[in-house]
Chain A
Amino acid sequence: MSEILTMPPNLPDAQNAEVGASKFCPGCGHGITLKALAKAVDELGIKQKTVFGCDIGCSLLAWNYMDLDTVQTHHGRTTPVIYGFTRANPEAIGIAYMGDGGGLAIGAQHLVNATVRGERMLIIVVNNTNYGMTGGQMSPTTMPGQKTETTPYGRDCSVTGKPAKAAEMVAAIADPQKSFVARSSVSNMMKLKQTFVKALKNVENGGFSFVEVLSICPLNWRTNNVDTFGRLAQMEEFFEVKEFLVPEGV
Protein backbone atom coordinates (compact mmCIF):
# COMPACT_ATOMS: atom_id res chain seq x y z
CA MET A 1 0.00 0.00 0.00
CA SER A 2 2.78 2.43 0.94
CA GLU A 3 4.44 1.65 -2.39
CA ILE A 4 1.37 2.82 -4.30
CA LEU A 5 1.04 6.03 -2.26
CA THR A 6 4.56 7.15 -3.13
CA MET A 7 4.16 6.49 -6.82
CA PRO A 8 4.78 9.65 -8.83
CA PRO A 9 1.74 10.97 -10.66
CA ASN A 10 1.55 10.11 -14.34
CA LEU A 11 1.92 13.62 -15.70
CA PRO A 12 2.66 14.66 -19.25
CA ASP A 13 6.05 16.29 -19.64
CA ALA A 14 4.39 19.55 -20.65
CA GLN A 15 2.46 19.71 -17.39
CA ASN A 16 4.08 21.42 -14.39
CA ALA A 17 4.75 18.79 -11.72
CA GLU A 18 5.48 21.43 -9.11
CA VAL A 19 1.93 22.75 -8.93
CA GLY A 20 0.76 19.92 -6.75
CA ALA A 21 -2.99 19.64 -6.26
CA SER A 22 -5.05 21.19 -9.02
CA LYS A 23 -6.42 24.62 -8.20
CA PHE A 24 -9.52 24.00 -10.25
CA CYS A 25 -12.76 23.08 -8.50
CA PRO A 26 -13.42 19.38 -8.01
CA GLY A 27 -14.84 17.96 -11.22
CA CYS A 28 -13.81 20.94 -13.36
CA GLY A 29 -13.18 20.32 -17.04
CA HIS A 30 -10.07 22.51 -17.23
CA GLY A 31 -7.86 19.84 -15.67
CA ILE A 32 -8.93 17.30 -18.31
CA THR A 33 -8.51 19.80 -21.11
CA LEU A 34 -5.06 20.94 -20.01
CA LYS A 35 -3.85 17.39 -19.53
CA ALA A 36 -5.03 16.51 -23.03
CA LEU A 37 -3.25 19.61 -24.37
CA ALA A 38 -0.06 18.74 -22.51
CA LYS A 39 -0.13 15.22 -23.94
CA ALA A 40 -0.58 16.64 -27.41
CA VAL A 41 2.42 18.93 -26.90
CA ASP A 42 4.42 15.92 -25.71
CA GLU A 43 3.36 13.85 -28.70
CA LEU A 44 4.53 16.52 -31.14
CA GLY A 45 7.68 17.30 -29.15
CA ILE A 46 7.09 21.04 -29.35
CA LYS A 47 7.44 21.94 -25.66
CA GLN A 48 10.58 24.02 -26.19
CA LYS A 49 9.00 26.25 -28.80
CA THR A 50 5.48 26.58 -27.44
CA VAL A 51 4.25 29.69 -25.71
CA PHE A 52 1.07 29.34 -23.71
CA GLY A 53 -1.21 32.26 -22.86
CA CYS A 54 -4.13 32.07 -20.50
CA ASP A 55 -6.99 34.48 -20.02
CA ILE A 56 -8.99 35.82 -17.10
CA GLY A 57 -11.74 33.74 -15.58
CA CYS A 58 -11.12 30.16 -14.49
CA SER A 59 -8.56 29.78 -17.28
CA LEU A 60 -6.21 32.15 -15.42
CA LEU A 61 -5.63 29.37 -12.88
CA ALA A 62 -3.66 27.70 -15.64
CA TRP A 63 -0.95 30.36 -15.27
CA ASN A 64 1.52 27.86 -13.78
CA TYR A 65 -0.27 24.63 -14.67
CA MET A 66 1.85 23.77 -17.67
CA ASP A 67 5.57 23.20 -17.91
CA LEU A 68 5.52 25.65 -20.79
CA ASP A 69 6.58 29.27 -21.03
CA THR A 70 3.37 30.95 -19.97
CA VAL A 71 1.85 34.40 -19.74
CA GLN A 72 -1.43 35.15 -18.03
CA THR A 73 -3.10 38.16 -19.60
CA HIS A 74 -6.31 40.17 -19.22
CA HIS A 75 -9.91 39.20 -19.87
CA GLY A 76 -10.30 38.50 -23.58
CA ARG A 77 -6.77 39.69 -24.39
CA THR A 78 -4.85 36.45 -24.63
CA THR A 79 -5.38 36.23 -28.38
CA PRO A 80 -3.66 39.58 -29.17
CA VAL A 81 -0.81 38.89 -26.73
CA ILE A 82 -0.13 35.54 -28.39
CA TYR A 83 -0.40 36.73 -31.99
CA GLY A 84 1.75 39.71 -31.00
CA PHE A 85 4.29 37.15 -29.83
CA THR A 86 4.15 34.85 -32.83
CA ARG A 87 4.27 37.78 -35.26
CA ALA A 88 7.51 38.81 -33.56
CA ASN A 89 8.79 35.23 -33.28
CA PRO A 90 7.44 33.19 -36.20
CA GLU A 91 9.23 30.06 -34.97
CA ALA A 92 7.05 29.87 -31.89
CA ILE A 93 3.88 27.82 -31.52
CA GLY A 94 1.37 30.10 -29.80
CA ILE A 95 -1.59 28.85 -27.80
CA ALA A 96 -4.27 31.19 -26.47
CA TYR A 97 -6.38 29.51 -23.83
CA MET A 98 -9.64 31.05 -22.66
CA GLY A 99 -13.23 30.46 -21.65
CA ASP A 100 -16.44 31.14 -23.53
CA GLY A 101 -16.70 34.64 -22.03
CA GLY A 102 -13.13 35.57 -22.99
CA GLY A 103 -13.46 34.08 -26.45
CA LEU A 104 -16.98 35.00 -27.47
CA ALA A 105 -17.93 38.07 -25.43
CA ILE A 106 -15.19 40.41 -24.20
CA GLY A 107 -12.57 39.11 -26.64
CA ALA A 108 -14.81 38.32 -29.62
CA GLN A 109 -13.26 40.96 -31.85
CA HIS A 110 -9.85 39.35 -31.40
CA LEU A 111 -11.23 35.89 -32.22
CA VAL A 112 -12.91 37.19 -35.37
CA ASN A 113 -9.90 39.15 -36.61
CA ALA A 114 -7.28 36.55 -35.68
CA THR A 115 -9.35 34.04 -37.65
CA VAL A 116 -9.73 36.29 -40.68
CA ARG A 117 -6.04 37.17 -40.70
CA GLY A 118 -5.16 33.50 -40.26
CA GLU A 119 -2.85 34.22 -37.33
CA ARG A 120 -0.36 31.41 -36.84
CA MET A 121 -1.70 30.20 -33.49
CA LEU A 122 -4.11 27.87 -31.74
CA ILE A 123 -7.07 29.43 -29.96
CA ILE A 124 -8.78 27.19 -27.42
CA VAL A 125 -12.17 28.21 -26.09
CA VAL A 126 -13.26 26.08 -23.16
CA ASN A 127 -17.05 26.27 -23.25
CA ASN A 128 -18.71 25.49 -19.91
CA THR A 129 -21.78 27.61 -20.67
CA ASN A 130 -21.21 30.15 -17.89
CA TYR A 131 -18.81 32.61 -16.27
CA GLY A 132 -17.36 30.35 -13.62
CA MET A 133 -14.81 32.51 -11.84
CA THR A 134 -17.21 35.37 -11.22
CA GLY A 135 -19.86 33.13 -9.76
CA GLY A 136 -21.87 31.62 -12.57
CA GLN A 137 -23.44 34.29 -14.74
CA MET A 138 -24.95 33.78 -18.17
CA SER A 139 -22.36 33.61 -20.96
CA PRO A 140 -22.79 33.72 -24.74
CA THR A 141 -23.02 29.90 -24.74
CA THR A 142 -25.45 29.40 -21.86
CA MET A 143 -28.00 26.78 -22.94
CA PRO A 144 -31.65 27.66 -23.57
CA GLY A 145 -33.49 27.45 -20.26
CA GLN A 146 -30.24 27.12 -18.25
CA LYS A 147 -30.34 28.72 -14.82
CA THR A 148 -27.45 31.04 -14.00
CA GLU A 149 -27.05 33.92 -11.51
CA THR A 150 -28.18 36.41 -14.17
CA THR A 151 -30.84 34.09 -15.63
CA PRO A 152 -32.23 32.71 -12.36
CA TYR A 153 -35.44 31.60 -14.07
CA GLY A 154 -33.62 30.02 -17.01
CA ARG A 155 -32.16 31.57 -20.15
CA ASP A 156 -35.01 33.06 -22.13
CA CYS A 157 -33.80 33.11 -25.72
CA SER A 158 -36.55 35.56 -26.70
CA VAL A 159 -34.72 38.07 -24.52
CA THR A 160 -31.08 37.03 -24.77
CA GLY A 161 -30.91 35.47 -28.22
CA LYS A 162 -29.73 31.95 -28.82
CA PRO A 163 -26.42 30.49 -27.61
CA ALA A 164 -23.41 31.41 -29.71
CA LYS A 165 -21.85 28.63 -31.74
CA ALA A 166 -18.18 29.48 -31.80
CA ALA A 167 -16.80 26.71 -34.01
CA GLU A 168 -19.45 27.27 -36.69
CA MET A 169 -18.76 31.02 -36.67
CA VAL A 170 -15.01 30.56 -36.91
CA ALA A 171 -15.35 27.91 -39.64
CA ALA A 172 -17.55 30.28 -41.63
CA ILE A 173 -14.90 33.03 -41.76
CA ALA A 174 -11.64 31.05 -41.67
CA ASP A 175 -9.53 30.28 -44.73
CA PRO A 176 -10.34 26.58 -45.35
CA GLN A 177 -6.96 25.97 -46.97
CA LYS A 178 -5.03 26.98 -43.86
CA SER A 179 -7.40 26.58 -40.92
CA PHE A 180 -8.20 23.72 -38.61
CA VAL A 181 -11.51 24.26 -36.80
CA ALA A 182 -13.09 21.69 -34.50
CA ARG A 183 -15.38 21.23 -31.55
CA SER A 184 -14.42 18.53 -29.07
CA SER A 185 -15.54 17.52 -25.60
CA VAL A 186 -14.04 16.55 -22.26
CA SER A 187 -16.26 13.46 -22.38
CA ASN A 188 -13.64 11.79 -24.58
CA MET A 189 -10.16 12.75 -23.49
CA MET A 190 -8.30 10.67 -26.05
CA LYS A 191 -10.26 12.23 -28.87
CA LEU A 192 -9.71 15.66 -27.34
CA LYS A 193 -5.98 15.01 -27.31
CA GLN A 194 -6.05 13.89 -30.94
CA THR A 195 -7.92 17.06 -31.85
CA PHE A 196 -5.24 19.16 -30.15
CA VAL A 197 -2.52 17.19 -31.97
CA LYS A 198 -4.13 18.05 -35.32
CA ALA A 199 -4.66 21.64 -34.32
CA LEU A 200 -1.05 22.09 -33.22
CA LYS A 201 0.28 20.29 -36.28
CA ASN A 202 -1.63 22.78 -38.42
CA VAL A 203 -0.01 25.66 -36.54
CA GLU A 204 3.38 24.04 -37.09
CA ASN A 205 2.49 23.99 -40.79
CA GLY A 206 1.88 27.73 -40.62
CA GLY A 207 -1.89 27.66 -40.22
CA PHE A 208 -4.55 28.93 -37.86
CA SER A 209 -6.35 26.54 -35.51
CA PHE A 210 -9.42 26.86 -33.36
CA VAL A 211 -10.72 24.27 -30.93
CA GLU A 212 -13.85 24.72 -28.89
CA VAL A 213 -13.92 22.31 -25.97
CA LEU A 214 -17.30 21.45 -24.45
CA SER A 215 -16.57 21.37 -20.75
CA ILE A 216 -18.23 20.96 -17.38
CA CYS A 217 -18.76 23.18 -14.35
CA PRO A 218 -20.38 21.10 -11.60
CA LEU A 219 -19.93 23.82 -9.00
CA ASN A 220 -21.90 26.53 -10.78
CA TRP A 221 -24.18 24.05 -12.48
CA ARG A 222 -24.93 22.64 -9.04
CA THR A 223 -24.90 19.14 -10.50
CA ASN A 224 -23.70 15.81 -9.18
CA ASN A 225 -21.53 13.52 -11.26
CA VAL A 226 -24.36 11.86 -13.12
CA ASP A 227 -26.16 15.10 -13.86
CA THR A 228 -22.93 16.83 -14.87
CA PHE A 229 -22.22 14.35 -17.61
CA GLY A 230 -25.91 14.20 -18.47
CA ARG A 231 -25.81 17.89 -19.14
CA LEU A 232 -22.59 17.53 -21.13
CA ALA A 233 -24.41 14.98 -23.29
CA GLN A 234 -27.17 17.55 -23.86
CA MET A 235 -24.56 20.12 -24.81
CA GLU A 236 -23.05 17.67 -27.29
CA GLU A 237 -26.45 17.44 -28.95
CA PHE A 238 -26.86 21.18 -29.11
CA PHE A 239 -23.25 21.99 -30.04
CA GLU A 240 -22.22 19.55 -32.72
CA VAL A 241 -18.95 17.76 -31.91
CA LYS A 242 -16.98 17.49 -35.13
CA GLU A 243 -14.11 18.75 -37.22
CA PHE A 244 -15.43 21.66 -39.27
CA LEU A 245 -12.32 22.47 -41.27
CA VAL A 246 -9.32 20.20 -41.78
CA PRO A 247 -6.69 21.46 -44.18
CA GLU A 248 -4.47 19.13 -46.15
CA GLY A 249 -1.45 17.75 -44.35
CA VAL A 250 -3.12 17.58 -40.93
Chain B
Amino acid sequence: MSRTKIVLAGEGGQGVQSVAKILVEAGYEAGKQVLYIPNFGVEQRGGVSIAFCQIADETIGEPRFAKGDIIIMLSDRAIDRCSTYVDENSVVVYDTSVCTKKPEIKCKEIIGVDANKIANEQLSARVFNIIILGVLLEATHVLELGDIKNAMEQALGKKFAAKPELRELNYKALEMGMGLVKDRAAV
Protein backbone atom coordinates (compact mmCIF):
# COMPACT_ATOMS: atom_id res chain seq x y z
CA MET B 1 0.00 0.00 0.00
CA SER B 2 1.55 3.24 -1.08
CA ARG B 3 0.61 6.55 0.48
CA THR B 4 2.50 9.83 0.18
CA LYS B 5 1.96 12.40 2.90
CA ILE B 6 2.82 15.94 1.86
CA VAL B 7 2.98 19.16 3.86
CA LEU B 8 3.28 22.43 1.96
CA ALA B 9 3.85 25.52 4.08
CA GLY B 10 4.61 29.12 3.35
CA GLU B 11 3.49 32.67 3.80
CA GLY B 12 0.04 33.78 2.69
CA GLY B 13 0.35 34.93 -0.92
CA GLN B 14 3.09 32.46 -1.89
CA GLY B 15 0.50 30.30 -3.59
CA VAL B 16 0.78 27.29 -1.33
CA GLN B 17 -2.92 26.38 -1.52
CA SER B 18 -3.03 26.88 -5.30
CA VAL B 19 -0.20 24.40 -5.73
CA ALA B 20 -1.87 21.97 -3.35
CA LYS B 21 -5.10 22.20 -5.33
CA ILE B 22 -3.36 21.50 -8.63
CA LEU B 23 -1.52 18.60 -7.03
CA VAL B 24 -4.60 16.92 -5.58
CA GLU B 25 -6.70 17.60 -8.68
CA ALA B 26 -3.97 15.89 -10.69
CA GLY B 27 -4.03 12.96 -8.30
CA TYR B 28 -7.81 12.74 -8.45
CA GLU B 29 -7.84 12.83 -12.26
CA ALA B 30 -5.13 10.17 -12.32
CA GLY B 31 -7.48 7.87 -10.40
CA LYS B 32 -5.58 8.01 -7.13
CA GLN B 33 -7.09 8.34 -3.69
CA VAL B 34 -6.49 11.87 -2.52
CA LEU B 35 -7.23 13.88 0.56
CA TYR B 36 -6.46 17.55 1.04
CA ILE B 37 -6.95 19.74 4.09
CA PRO B 38 -6.10 23.42 3.84
CA ASN B 39 -5.33 24.98 7.18
CA PHE B 40 -7.93 27.59 7.85
CA GLY B 41 -7.28 29.02 11.26
CA VAL B 42 -7.93 32.65 12.04
CA GLU B 43 -4.32 33.12 10.96
CA GLN B 44 -5.22 32.33 7.37
CA ARG B 45 -4.67 35.85 6.16
CA GLY B 46 -1.23 37.05 7.06
CA GLY B 47 -0.10 33.88 8.74
CA VAL B 48 1.60 30.64 7.77
CA SER B 49 -0.45 28.87 5.13
CA ILE B 50 -0.31 25.09 5.29
CA ALA B 51 -1.72 22.41 3.03
CA PHE B 52 -1.89 18.77 4.12
CA CYS B 53 -2.11 16.49 1.10
CA GLN B 54 -2.22 12.74 0.80
CA ILE B 55 -2.04 10.76 -2.42
CA ALA B 56 -2.49 7.01 -2.22
CA ASP B 57 -3.40 3.89 -4.14
CA GLU B 58 -5.87 2.68 -1.54
CA THR B 59 -8.53 4.32 0.62
CA ILE B 60 -7.04 6.92 2.93
CA GLY B 61 -7.84 6.55 6.61
CA GLU B 62 -6.57 9.35 8.79
CA PRO B 63 -7.25 12.83 7.41
CA ARG B 64 -4.40 14.41 9.37
CA PHE B 65 -1.09 12.66 9.86
CA ALA B 66 1.63 13.07 12.46
CA LYS B 67 4.68 12.96 10.17
CA GLY B 68 4.95 13.76 6.49
CA ASP B 69 6.98 12.06 3.78
CA ILE B 70 7.88 15.43 2.32
CA ILE B 71 7.64 18.79 4.03
CA ILE B 72 8.10 21.89 1.94
CA MET B 73 8.96 25.02 3.91
CA LEU B 74 8.89 28.30 2.07
CA SER B 75 9.61 30.79 4.85
CA ASP B 76 11.34 31.05 8.22
CA ARG B 77 7.99 30.90 9.96
CA ALA B 78 7.06 27.82 7.96
CA ILE B 79 10.27 26.14 9.18
CA ASP B 80 9.33 26.93 12.78
CA ARG B 81 5.71 25.94 12.37
CA CYS B 82 6.19 22.69 10.44
CA SER B 83 9.22 21.02 11.98
CA THR B 84 6.74 19.06 14.07
CA TYR B 85 5.70 17.10 10.96
CA VAL B 86 9.26 15.89 10.30
CA ASP B 87 10.81 12.62 11.41
CA GLU B 88 13.78 10.49 10.30
CA ASN B 89 11.88 9.29 7.21
CA SER B 90 10.92 12.74 5.98
CA VAL B 91 12.43 14.75 3.15
CA VAL B 92 12.55 18.46 3.91
CA VAL B 93 12.61 21.06 1.14
CA TYR B 94 13.22 24.71 1.86
CA ASP B 95 13.77 27.80 -0.22
CA THR B 96 17.25 29.16 0.31
CA SER B 97 16.37 32.44 -1.35
CA VAL B 98 13.49 33.17 1.03
CA CYS B 99 14.50 31.53 4.29
CA THR B 100 17.27 33.19 6.27
CA LYS B 101 18.09 29.96 8.06
CA LYS B 102 18.49 26.28 7.27
CA PRO B 103 16.08 23.88 8.96
CA GLU B 104 18.00 22.16 11.74
CA ILE B 105 15.96 18.99 11.89
CA LYS B 106 16.83 15.30 12.00
CA CYS B 107 15.42 13.84 8.82
CA LYS B 108 16.20 11.68 5.79
CA GLU B 109 17.32 14.54 3.60
CA ILE B 110 17.23 18.30 3.40
CA ILE B 111 17.01 19.87 -0.05
CA GLY B 112 17.62 23.57 -0.47
CA VAL B 113 16.27 25.22 -3.63
CA ASP B 114 16.42 28.85 -4.71
CA ALA B 115 13.07 28.86 -6.43
CA ASN B 116 12.16 32.39 -5.43
CA LYS B 117 15.39 33.78 -6.88
CA ILE B 118 14.98 31.85 -10.10
CA ALA B 119 11.38 32.95 -10.44
CA ASN B 120 12.29 36.60 -9.97
CA GLU B 121 15.43 36.63 -12.10
CA GLN B 122 14.65 34.19 -14.89
CA LEU B 123 10.87 33.72 -15.14
CA SER B 124 8.27 35.68 -13.22
CA ALA B 125 7.49 36.05 -9.52
CA ARG B 126 4.04 34.68 -10.28
CA VAL B 127 5.31 31.20 -11.13
CA PHE B 128 7.30 30.76 -7.93
CA ASN B 129 4.77 28.25 -6.69
CA ILE B 130 4.84 26.31 -9.95
CA ILE B 131 8.60 25.88 -9.58
CA ILE B 132 7.86 24.48 -6.13
CA LEU B 133 5.33 22.12 -7.70
CA GLY B 134 8.09 20.89 -10.02
CA VAL B 135 10.38 20.38 -7.03
CA LEU B 136 7.69 18.41 -5.26
CA LEU B 137 6.98 16.26 -8.30
CA GLU B 138 10.63 15.35 -8.85
CA ALA B 139 11.26 14.74 -5.15
CA THR B 140 8.32 12.37 -4.70
CA HIS B 141 7.47 10.95 -8.15
CA VAL B 142 4.00 10.65 -6.70
CA LEU B 143 2.44 11.61 -10.03
CA GLU B 144 3.43 11.82 -13.69
CA LEU B 145 4.32 15.14 -15.28
CA GLY B 146 1.38 14.67 -17.67
CA ASP B 147 -1.05 14.44 -14.77
CA ILE B 148 0.19 17.75 -13.43
CA LYS B 149 0.00 19.42 -16.83
CA ASN B 150 -3.60 18.27 -17.23
CA ALA B 151 -4.50 19.67 -13.82
CA MET B 152 -2.77 22.94 -14.65
CA GLU B 153 -4.81 23.09 -17.81
CA GLN B 154 -7.98 22.69 -15.72
CA ALA B 155 -6.96 25.30 -13.17
CA LEU B 156 -5.43 27.86 -15.52
CA GLY B 157 -6.97 26.94 -18.89
CA LYS B 158 -8.86 30.20 -19.27
CA LYS B 159 -5.76 32.25 -18.59
CA PHE B 160 -3.74 30.06 -20.95
CA ALA B 161 -6.31 30.53 -23.70
CA ALA B 162 -6.14 34.31 -23.33
CA LYS B 163 -2.36 34.37 -23.15
CA PRO B 164 -0.77 31.24 -24.63
CA GLU B 165 2.70 32.37 -23.53
CA LEU B 166 1.54 31.83 -19.95
CA ARG B 167 1.31 28.11 -20.63
CA GLU B 168 4.90 28.03 -21.79
CA LEU B 169 5.97 30.07 -18.77
CA ASN B 170 4.26 27.68 -16.38
CA TYR B 171 5.63 24.58 -18.11
CA LYS B 172 9.09 26.08 -17.98
CA ALA B 173 8.69 26.81 -14.26
CA LEU B 174 7.59 23.24 -13.69
CA GLU B 175 10.59 21.86 -15.56
CA MET B 176 13.03 24.19 -13.83
CA GLY B 177 11.65 23.09 -10.49
CA MET B 178 12.15 19.45 -11.42
CA GLY B 179 15.63 20.33 -12.60
CA LEU B 180 16.53 21.81 -9.22
CA VAL B 181 16.04 18.41 -7.62
CA LYS B 182 17.68 16.45 -10.45
CA ASP B 183 20.77 18.66 -10.38
CA ARG B 184 21.06 18.18 -6.66
CA ALA B 185 21.03 14.41 -7.22
CA ALA B 186 23.90 14.73 -9.66
CA VAL B 187 26.10 16.55 -7.13
Contact between chain A and chain B defined by CB under 8 Å = no
